[in-house]
Chains A and B, each alone.
Chain A
């Protein structure tokens, strides 16, 4: 089977599991909703302040939601002991990771599509004009989060205190994504209509470098 086809099979399996249980999406949706409210209580921002803090808030909310969600992606395989079956499958190990990366990306992207308008209403910042570019920036950053997060989830699945470990590994590595994402989002919300090419290429570069690294190291990640 070709890489694309086997990755698509893994992706379809992940989506099917999720559509049956709704574990991940329910948790993540509730988590982001809660953050959106709690931050407003904590800072009770005025209109101009919201414009300033909203980019950082959106990114932090999705980052934490992402780390919360990614923990489950390999633990779920472990509890059902299905990882061995995946390993035995005659497919490229990168296909397993890629399928999972795409699934995690899809869950987070869906959350973003739902919650960007909600954030916009809660914080009274209009995003209608820039929604396309805003989603592009968010998706580029989220793909980086999904790549690195899936890899680290595979790594930490067998460690002690893995629930604690994953965010500790993931968040420092994501620092460049956070900086680039927040800056790009601020530019969009403040000046509007255009986003600096520098930040877009930083996000795309991050995705490219870590996807390549994952591809090169996938053999080691999936082995027992």
Chain B
């Protein structure tokens, strides 16, 4: 990475401040929603986390394709980093959704289309991480998790349409939903700001996770070299 350590630290601080400012604007700048009242304020956080989660999974899908096309380990690191960050964001969606649903729908959990979709996606990417954990050999792991990453993402639109035809109680699209629909301009600004802050957080998390994976690889390489070196020193026959 070209940026120095200080720059990245500064970026983390900037994101922390931006998130705090987003919190302030959500509660004190955005107007109170007419029917739902203050509970609607969770939307800024909930919807933007949701969009970011799906963005992560899309990036993971692209990285998986990148790995299969190039066989460069860095694509595999990117695929796992984005999948893991996406899973964390999706978990936030699954937690904030019920908090909103309890006062508005009267129950914590409804098998509503988008909630169900978020749940299915959560299962898909937990399966992805389990597959990685249980695969032993590194090259093989990268290969099969890339294939699974592609299959999992191809499943998302299918799951989306099946749960949508199955049932939906979720509020329809408010942001681009027709003439009498839409957000108050102030709400728009708060939403856009919150989303940008979360997007920056997402990028920093992916970057750190990616570095961790790269370091792991380096340590593994060193270990392998060390073992090989010891074998040579002891005069054993070096296999492989």
Q: Which A residues are within 8 Å of any B CB, using their own CB?
A: 148, 151-152, 155-156, 158-162, 165, 168-169, 171-173, 175-176, 179-180, 183, 198-199, 202, 205-206, 209-210, 213, 217, 220-221, 223
Contact pick for B158, options A162, A202, A220, A221, CB 8 Å: A202
B135, A173: Cβ atoms under 8 Å? Answer: no
A217, B68: Cβ atoms under 8 Å? Answer: yes
Which B residues touch A180, using CB under 8 A?
Answer: 162
Which A residues touch B130, using CB under 8 A?
Answer: 165, 168-169
Looking at chain B's contact residues, the main secondary structure is: helix
Interface size on B, residues (CB 8 A): 29
A175, B147: Cβ atoms under 8 Å? Answer: no
B68, A172: Cβ atoms under 8 Å? Answer: no
A162–B134 Cα distance when bound, in Å, is 8
Report the minimal beta-carbon distance from A183 to chain B, rounded to whole angstroms.
Answer: 7
Q: Which chain A residue lies CB-closest to B125?
A: A172
Q: A160-B135, A169-B130, A169-B148 are in contact. List 7 more A-B contacts (CB 8 A).
A: A159-B134, A160-B136, A171-B123, A176-B155, A176-B162, A217-B68, A220-B68
23 contacts across the A-B interface (CB closer than 8 A)? A151-B147, A151-B151, A152-B148, A152-B151, A155-B148, A158-B135, A158-B136, A161-B134, A162-B134, A165-B130, A165-B134, A168-B130, A169-B130, A172-B120, A172-B152, A173-B124, A173-B127, A175-B120, A176-B159, A183-B165, A183-B166, A202-B165, A213-B151
| Cβ-based interface call for B144 (8 A) | yes
Looking at chain A's contact residues, the main secondary structure is: helix
Contact pick for A172, options B127, B143, B163, B166, CB 8 Å: B127
B151, A173: Cβ atoms under 8 Å? Answer: yes
Q: Which chain B residue lies CB-closest to A183?
A: B166
Which A residues touch B13, using CB under 8 A?
Answer: none
A165, B143: Cβ atoms under 8 Å? Answer: no
Which A residues touch B124, using CB under 8 A?
Answer: 172-173
| Cβ-based interface call for B154 (8 A) | yes
Q: Which B residues are within 8 Å of any A CB, using their own CB?
A: 68, 120, 123-124, 127, 130-131, 134-137, 140, 143-144, 146-148, 150-152, 154-155, 158-159, 161-163, 165-166
Supposing A159-B134, A165-B131 touch, asked if A217 and B159 sit within 8 A by C-beta, the answer is no
Q: Which chain B residue lies CB-closest to A160?
A: B134
Contact pick for A205, options B146, B152, B158, CB 8 Å: B158
Contact pick for B144, options A155, A168, A206, A209, CB 8 Å: A155
Residue picked from A151, A159, A165, most chain B C-beta under 10 Å: A159
Contact pick for B151, options A148, A160, A175, CB 8 Å: A148
Residue picked from B120, B127, B146, most chain A C-beta under 10 Å: B127
Q: Which chain A residue lies CB-closest to B155?
A: A173
B127, A168: Cβ atoms under 8 Å? Answer: yes
Which B residues touch A175, using CB under 8 A?
Answer: 120, 123, 155, 159, 162
A220, B143: Cβ atoms under 8 Å? Answer: yes
Which A residues touch B140, using CB under 8 A?
Answer: 158
A202, B162: Cβ atoms under 8 Å? Answer: yes
Report the minimal beta-carbon distance from B61 to chain A, rounded to whole angstroms.
Answer: 12
A110–B161 Cα distance when bound, in Å, is 30
A198, B151: Cβ atoms under 8 Å? Answer: no
B123, A172: Cβ atoms under 8 Å? Answer: yes
A206, B158: Cβ atoms under 8 Å? Answer: yes
Which A residues touch B158, using CB under 8 A?
Answer: 176, 202, 205-206, 209
A195–B222 Cα distance when bound, in Å, is 61
